[in-house]
Structure 1
Amino acid sequence: MGAPRLDAIDIRILDAIQRDGRITKLALAERAGISPTPCWTRLRRLEKAGIITGYHARLSLRLVAPVASILVEVTLASHRQTDFERFERAIKLLPEVTSCWSVGG
């Protein structure tokens, strides 16, 4: 069972909630061009189908807490593929690490 087919109204609903996750039901229905009850039904269908996975707030981390970028060099003792894979698995467990690059040459 794949994702449900999306029509133009579904696309307008998705566009509107991506732009404003706190949009009211009435405003969402107006943007979608349909009445509130069918709009709400469509929204719930999109959520149940997994197309809408959540509603989130974007935070300004610089206003919440001081942020620093730190660049660290890590040298592996061996350049075997298994060592790179083990390092990659370990680094992915650290939520404070936001980027990781491999540099050679």
Structure 2
Amino acid sequence: MGAGKYISSDTFTVGGYDWAIYFYPDGKNNEDNATYVSVFIALASDGTDVRALFELTLLDQSGKGKHKVHSHFDRALESGPYTLKYRGSMWYGFRFYEFLVELCELVVF
């Protein structure tokens, strides 16, 4: 697809707010050089100071191994929920090579 091009999920509702997942198969930025994917969770509805915890689970291409990526949001979970301040706010979930999104768990405060 090329860096910066994404596939988005259908909008889904959790905690009274609409959300979407954005999947960049070749990375979000040109410097990613298509060596890994980027996945973001985004607030899709109007709202201010929406606090949320989330966990994204990945499934490898064989369909056998589930992987939870705990790179960036592990620290966010330890310090409390992340605040999304306006429609279109995105939280960087992870960048990981050769895995597909399988499950997203989201808790809104």
Structure with the larger helix share: 1
Normalising by structure 2, we get a TM-score of: 0.20
Give the structure with higher Rg (CA). Answer: 1
Normalising by structure 1, we get a TM-score of: 0.21
Greater RCO between the two (CA within 8 Å, min separation 6)? 2
Structure with the larger strand share: 2
